Amino acid sequence: MRRVVERAVEYSFIAPMALFLLAFIAYPVYLNVRISFQDLRAVNLVHGDAPWVGLAHYRAVMSDPIVRQSVRHLLFFTVGSLLLQLPLGLGLALFFQRTFPGARWMRGSFLLAWTMPVVVVGAIFRWLFDSQFGVINWLLQALGLLQHQVAWLTDIHLVLPTLTVINVWLGIPFNMALILTGLQSLPQDVFEAATIDGATAWQRLWHITLPLLRPTLLAILLLGLIFTLRQFDLVWAMTQGGPFDASQLPSTLAYRRVFQQFEFGQGGAILNLLALLLMAIAIVYVWTIHRERAQ
C-alpha cells in the first residue's frame, strides 16, 4: 500500500502537464487528422454530420497547382534561409569569441533581436520595406544604389527573396548563440598545439574548429530546417501569402483554406502532410544526436 501511495504521489506531479498535453496537443492533432478524412464545411460544421471521404482531400491537395507552388516556395524559402543563416551565424560566433571592448554588449544586442515576437518583427519590416515610405528604399536611393522605388513586398518576383532575407535576419542570433556555446566548449590545448606547429588561422578553422563543431553544426542545421519549414507568423504578418500567391507557403495556404475558404478537410490534409515531414526530420535529428553522443 505504501508503494502504491508513493507511485500515486509521483504521478501526481506530472499529471497537470500530461493533462495539458492531452487537451492542447493530442486532441487537436486527433481532431485535425479526423477532419482530413471528412467533408467538413461551414454548412455542416455546427451539427458535425460530415461524411467520410477517405483520402479524397489528400489526392486533391497533391494535385492542386497552388499547393505545388507553395511547396516550391517553401523549398526556396528553406534552402535560401539555411544557406545564409549558418555561415553568417558561424562568422559572428567566431568574431564574438574574441575579447574586445563592447563584445558582450554587441552580443547581447543580437540576442535581443531574437527574443522579439515574430509578429512584431513582421510589422517592423513591413514598414521598412514599404515601397513608398520605407526606410530601405530611402537608404538605398541615398547611397545611389537605386534610381527608383522598389516594391519589395508587392512584386511577385521580389516578395519571396525579401521574406527569405528577413527570415535569415531572424535566425542568425539563434545560430550564433548555439555555435558560440559550442566554440567555448572546445578544448583549447588542441588549438595551442596547432599554433605552436605553425598552423594558420584558416588551417585551424578548417582542420580543427569545423570538425570538432560538426555535431553542433548538424544539430543547428536540423533545428533550423524544422523552424523554417513550420514558419507561418512572419509570412502571414507581412504578406498573407500574396501578392497573387507569390509568397504562399503550405502553412499559410492551410490557414487560408480553413479560416477563409472553410475547406477544413483540405486544410487539415495540408497540415498533416507538413506534420509528417517535420516528424521525419525530428526523428532524424534525435537519431543524429544519439549517434553523436554514442561516438
pLDDT at 8: 86
Q: CA 114, CA 108: separation in Å to the nearest integer?
A: 10
**Weakest-pLDDT range from 167-176, 197-206, 247-256:** 197-206
Whether 77 has a pLDDT exceeding 90, the answer reads yes
Mean pLDDT of the chain: 88
Whether 142 has a pLDDT exceeding 70, the answer reads yes
- Residue range 175-187: mean pLDDT, rounded: 90
Whether 54 has a pLDDT exceeding 80, the answer reads yes
Please indicate, yes or no, if residue 239 is contained in any of the structural domains.
yes
In sign, the C-alpha dihedral spanning 158, 161, 165, 166 is positive
37: pLDDT confidence band, cut at 50, 70 and 90?
Answer: very high
Please indicate, yes or no, if residue 290 is contained in any of the structural domains.
yes
Please indicate, yes or no, if residue 99 is contained in any of the structural domains.
yes
48: pLDDT confidence band, cut at 50, 70 and 90?
Answer: low
Whether 93 has a pLDDT exceeding 70, the answer reads yes
- Residue range 245-267: mean pLDDT, rounded: 92
Please indicate, yes or no, if residue 2 is contained in any of the structural domains.
no
pLDDT at 56: 93
Whether 111 has a pLDDT exceeding 90, the answer reads no
Please indicate, yes or no, if residue 116 is contained in any of the structural domains.
yes
The residue range of the domain holding 287 is 66-294
- Model pLDDT for residues 223-241, shown as the tens digit of each residue: 899 899 989 999 999 999 9
Whether 247 has a pLDDT exceeding 90, the answer reads yes
pTM for the structure as a whole:
0.88
CB 157 within 8 A of CB 183: no
Q: CA 129, CA 150: separation in Å to the nearest integer?
A: 9
Please indicate, yes or no, if residue 37 is contained in any of the structural domains.
no
Please indicate, yes or no, if residue 32 is contained in any of the structural domains.
no
User: In 149-169, which positions are buried (b, 16+ CB within 10 angstroms) versus exposed (e)?
Assistant: bbbbbbeeebbbebbbbbbbb
pLDDT at 55: 92
Whether 212 has a pLDDT exceeding 80, the answer reads yes
Percentage of the chain with pLDDT > 90?
43
Please indicate, yes or no, if residue 59 is contained in any of the structural domains.
no
Q: What total of structural domains would you count in the chain?
A: 1
Instruction: Supply the CATH number for residue 101's domain.
Output: 1.10.3720.10
